[in-house]
Structure 1
Amino acid sequence: MIEAAQFVEAARERGFDWYAGVPCSYLTPFINYVLQDSKLHYVSAANEGDAVAFIAGVTLGAQHGRRGVTMMQNSGLGNAVSPLTSLTWTFRLPQLLIVTWRGQPGVADEPQHQLMGPITPAMLDTMEIPWETFPTEPEAIGPALDRAIAHMDATGRPYALVMQKGSVAPYELKDSGRATKREERAARDVSRAVAADALPTRNEALQRVIAHTPVNSTVVLASTGFCGRELYAIDDRPNQLYMVGSMGCITPFALGLALTRPDLHVVALDGDGAALMRMGVFATLGAYGPSNLTHILLDNGAHDSTGGQSTVSPQVSFAGVAAACGYASAVEGDDVGLIDELFASPLLDGPRFVRVAIRRGTPDGLPRPTITPPDVKTRLMRHIATAGTNEGAR
Structure 2
Amino acid sequence: MTLQANDFIDRAAAYGYDFYAGVPCSFLTPFINTVIDSERLTYVSAANEGDAVALAAGQALAGKRAVAMMQNSGLGNAVSPLTSLNWVFRLPILLIVTWRGTPDVADEPQHELMGQITTDMLETMDLPWEIFPDRAEAVDEALARAEAHMNETGRPYVLVMKKGTVAPAELQTQSAPTQSRGAITFRPAPYKEPTVSRREALSHLVERTDPAHSVIIASTGFAGRELYAIDDRPNHLYMVGSMGCAPLLGLGLAMARPDLDVIVVDGDGAALMRLGAMSTLAAYGPTNLHHLLLDNGMHESTGGQATVSSGLSFAGIAAAAGYRTTYEGHDRTVIDQMLGGSSQGPAFSHLHIAPGTDKANLPRPAATPVEVKQRLMAHIGAGS
Does the Cα contact within 8 Å between 1:191 and 1:335 map onto a contact in 2?
Answer: no
TM value normalised by structure 2: 0.97
Question: What residue in structure 1 maps to residue 352 of structure 2?
Answer: 357
Aligned CA distance change for structure 1 residues 181 and 15 (closer, same or farther; 3 Å)? closer
Q: In the alignment, is residue 282 of structure 1 matched against residue 278 of structure 2? A: yes
Question: What residue in structure 2 maps to residue 209 of structure 1?
Answer: 205
Q: How far does residue 20 in structure 1 lie from its aligned partner after superposition?
A: 0.2
Question: What residue in structure 1 maps to residue 43 of structure 2?
Answer: 42
User: Of the candidates 78, 81, 84, which is equivalent to residue 80 of structure 1?
Assistant: 78
Rounded to whole Å, the distance in 2 between the matches of 1:341 and 1:136 is 52
Rounded to whole Å, the distance in 2 between the matches of 1:334 and 1:345 is 21
Q: In the alignment, is residue 308 of structure 1 matched against residue 309 of structure 2? A: no
Deviations 1:74-112 (A, max 9, x none): 011100000000000000000000000000112100010
Name the SS of the counterpart of 1:267 in structure 2. Answer: strand
Rounded to whole Å, the distance in 2 between the matches of 1:336 and 1:190 is 15
User: Of the candidates 263, 268, 276, which is equivalent to residue 267 of structure 1?
Assistant: 263
Name the SS of the counterpart of 1:188 in structure 2. Answer: coil
Does the Cα contact within 8 Å between 2:22 and 2:69 map onto a contact in 1?
Answer: yes
Name the SS of the counterpart of 2:381 in structure 1. Answer: helix
Question: What residue in structure 1 maps to residue 27 of structure 2?
Answer: 26
Does the Cα contact within 8 Å between 1:36 and 1:174 map onto a contact in 2?
Answer: yes
Q: In the alignment, is residue 55 of structure 1 matched against residue 56 of structure 2? A: yes
Rounded to whole Å, the distance in 2 between the matches of 1:195 and 1:215 is 32
User: Of the candidates 289, 294, 318, which is equivalent to residue 322 of structure 1?
Assistant: 318
Name the SS of the counterpart of 1:25 in structure 2. Answer: coil
Question: What residue in structure 2 maps to residue 9 of structure 1?
Answer: 10
Name the SS of the counterpart of 2:210 in structure 1. Answer: coil
Q: How far does residue 133 in structure 1 lie from its aligned partner after superposition?
A: 0.5
Deviations 1:122-171 (A, max 9, x none): 00000000000010111111000100010011100000000001111101
Unaligned runs of 5+ in 2: none
Name the SS of the counterpart of 2:359 in structure 1. Answer: coil
User: Of the candidates 158, 161, 164, which is equivalent to residue 163 of structure 1?
Assistant: 161
Alignment of 1:85-104 (within 5 A): 85-104=83-102
Question: What residue in structure 2 maps to residue 390 of structure 1?
Answer: none
* Structure 2 counterpart of 1:308, one-letter code: G
Unaligned runs of 5+ in 1: 388-394
Aligned length: 381
Name the SS of the counterpart of 2:34 in structure 1. Answer: helix
Aligned CA distance change for structure 1 residues 177 and 59 (closer, same or farther; 3 Å)? farther
Q: How far does residue 193 in structure 1 lie from its aligned partner after superposition?
A: 3.2
Q: How far does residue 347 in structure 1 lie from its aligned partner after superposition?
A: 4.3
* Structure 1 counterpart of 2:216, one-letter code: V
Name the SS of the counterpart of 1:149 in structure 2. Answer: helix
Question: What residue in structure 2 maps to residue 391 of structure 1?
Answer: none
Aligned CA distance change for structure 1 residues 159 and 207 (closer, same or farther; 3 Å)? same
* Structure 1 counterpart of 2:177, one-letter code: A
Deviations 1:249-282 (A, max 9, x none): 0000000000000000000000000000000011
Q: How far does residue 386 in structure 1 lie from its aligned partner after superposition?
A: 7.8
Rounded to whole Å, the distance in 1 between the matches of 2:335 and 2:248 is 21
Deviates more, 1:261-270 or 1:364-373: 364-373
RMSD: 1.4
Name the SS of the counterpart of 1:207 in structure 2. Answer: helix
Rounded to whole Å, the distance in 2 between the matches of 1:386 and 1:53 is 18
Name the SS of the counterpart of 2:97 in structure 1. Answer: strand
Rounded to whole Å, the distance in 2 between the matches of 1:60 and 1:181 is 25
Deviations 1:311-331 (A, max 9, x none): 000111101110111101111
Question: What residue in structure 2 maps to residue 116 of structure 1?
Answer: 114
Rounded to whole Å, the distance in 1 between the matches of 2:376 and 2:144 is 27
Rounded to whole Å, the distance in 2 between the matches of 1:73 and 1:386 is 31
Question: What residue in structure 2 maps to residue 392 of structure 1?
Answer: none
Does the Cα contact within 8 Å between 1:190 and 1:334 map onto a contact in 2?
Answer: no
Q: How far does residue 61 in structure 1 lie from its aligned partner after superposition?
A: 1.1
* Structure 1 counterpart of 2:353, one-letter code: I
Aligned CA distance change for structure 1 residues 320 and 310 (closer, same or farther; 3 Å)? same
Rounded to whole Å, the distance in 2 between the matches of 1:290 and 1:74 is 30
Does the Cα contact within 8 Å between 1:20 and 1:55 map onto a contact in 2?
Answer: yes
Q: How far does residue 38 in structure 1 lie from its aligned partner after superposition?
A: 1.2
Residue identity over aligned pairs, in percent, reads 58
Does the Cα contact within 8 Å between 1:29 and 1:170 map onto a contact in 2?
Answer: yes
Aligned CA distance change for structure 1 residues 310 and 186 (closer, same or farther; 3 Å)? farther
Does the Cα contact within 8 Å between 2:178 and 2:282 map onto a contact in 1?
Answer: no
Rounded to whole Å, the distance in 2 between the matches of 1:17 and 1:188 is 35
Rounded to whole Å, the distance in 1 between the matches of 2:92 and 2:56 is 9
* Structure 2 counterpart of 1:239, one-letter code: N
Q: How far does residue 191 in structure 1 lie from its aligned partner after superposition?
A: 3.1
